[in-house]
Amino acid sequence: MASIAAALRDGTPCVEIIEAFADVVVTGEPKLNACVGGSVDKAAMRARAAAIDAMLAEGKKLALACVPVVVKDNVDVAGQPTSGGVAALRKSVAAVDAPVWAAVEAAGAVLVCKGNMPDFAANGLNTVSSRSGQTLSAYNRSRVPYGSSGGPAVAISASYGVLGIGTDTDGSIQNPSSAASLVGLRGTLGLVPTLGILPLSIFSDVAGPMTRTVADAAVAYQVMVNASLASRGSQDYVGALKADALAGARIGYLSSVLARVPGKQVPDPAVEALACAALDALDKAGARVTTIAPNAPVVTALVSIISSVSPAALGLCGDSSFKAAVNSFLATRPRDEGMRSVSEVYASGEFLHGLGGVTALLENAIAAPPPSSGNVSAACAGYVAAQKEARQLLVEYLDSHGLAAFGFPTENQPPPKLPGIPPPTGWFGTQLVSAFTGLPAMVMPMGATLGYDTPVGWTFLGRPYDEATLFGLAYGFELAHPSRVVPPSP
């Protein structure tokens, strides 16, 4: 973003800047398939860039002036389909922008394309959809880009744009950012509005930025948070970017992420080496790192709380709320422009079969009773209570130990080979901690394993509504441990 702003100040028109990005998309898309339909509307990008040039000439101040953006295909963009990766929803045209996209566009952004995603965002390990097929990593096309925000992540890593707007239900920003060597933020649950976003779980859905740098993420997140009139985002995220933010900061290192548990967790030695290098960088930058052992009471208690939610109750709550939320979302679409219910999507047969569990998701949702039924209400109440208990447990630990945040690798192994389902034996991702508790998680590049082509991320997990602290820590980490891996040209 700083380079674009500097070019604009030096007299380079936005039209010229955007055409350069569009050319990259045209070159890369036959190989990566990060955009829905694998194409880009260069004429629309040029027209938008010309409009921004006119606004800048009039003296208008735009926080995201001429910033090219890839928007995940579950976010409403007026006049375009919001398919959520589902072939049956390819005609589900949005009448108005989702507030998060409206805010970003009003700040001067240029839409590059809608980013590919798995059907209904239901696949966190890989980005393959019935509408647009398989998205490939810009680093190693034999390995997964993770999901479900894999399209935007791959697009930004391949220089299609500077900002990706993703969503995260259970790692869908965190894991793709890790695999794409990006900064990705799953913010506090409810801080960024999810109105106008095709839902997966009303209890966990979050929208957030995916960028190359912490500074870009801070600018974008401030704009995104301001999309909500009821937000608590009064913090100055850009102002938190201080070079000495790590000096004296206390970080709780969750060593359980790389614990060797026979049959369950098998961390890769290369990831362990990257984690050691990250911890060394934190130490040299002045952070005070406290190791939290795998058998520490806080870890044991967290696992116990998460395990207390039975799969049956979680499934009942999730299936019922998914059906109700998706039906409500689709009901806003004109009848002649697409499906209007989960049942209609299922009856069409136009969704991903076999891979990713979409068939079971739809069948279970159709069979589920309404949210108002006693069994569903009880199941959802138990889930929400467990979420709250886990959140309080971690916040109280941070407070009682004087910690600014927790820190840990985002996964314990490199991105697995395609199709990634089921994951390799012993693979373990940390996305559930943030997704379950609703606490904000910032993913940072930590380096790459197997040589050059398999990035893995580092995560900072903090208190609710305290993203400013995470931005400060991440900025300090970026300066102390510059480990973003640039992919080869597509």
Output phi, psi for 75, to 5 deg: -105, 125
Are 95 and 331 in contact by the 8 Å Cβ rule? The answer is no
C-alpha dihedral (174, 175, 178, 181), degrees to nearest 10:
-90
* Residue 400 bears catalytic tag: no
- Of 72, 83, 129, 157, the active-site residue reads 72
The residues that bridge with 393 in the sheet, in sequence order, are: none
Distance, in Å, from the CA atom of 121 to the CA atom of 204, rounded to the nearest integer, reads 12
Are 214 and 471 in contact by the 8 Å Cβ rule? The answer is yes
- Of 148, 157, 204, 256, the active-site residue reads 148
The residues that bridge with 183 in the sheet, in sequence order, are: 211
* Residue 148 bears catalytic tag: yes
* Residue 91 bears catalytic tag: no
* Residue 306 in tokens: 């998460």
- Of 130, 132, 137, 172, the active-site residue reads 172
Coil, helix or strand for 374? Answer: helix
> Which among 210, 240, 185 has a CA at the least distance from the CA of 72?
210
Torsion sign over Cα 216, 218, 221, 227: negative
Angle separating helix axes 14-32 and 2-9, nearest 10 degrees: 140
* Residue 70 in tokens: 């890839």
Distance, in Å, from the CA atom of 454 to the CA atom of 448, rounded to the nearest integer, reads 5
Active site residues: 72, 148, 172
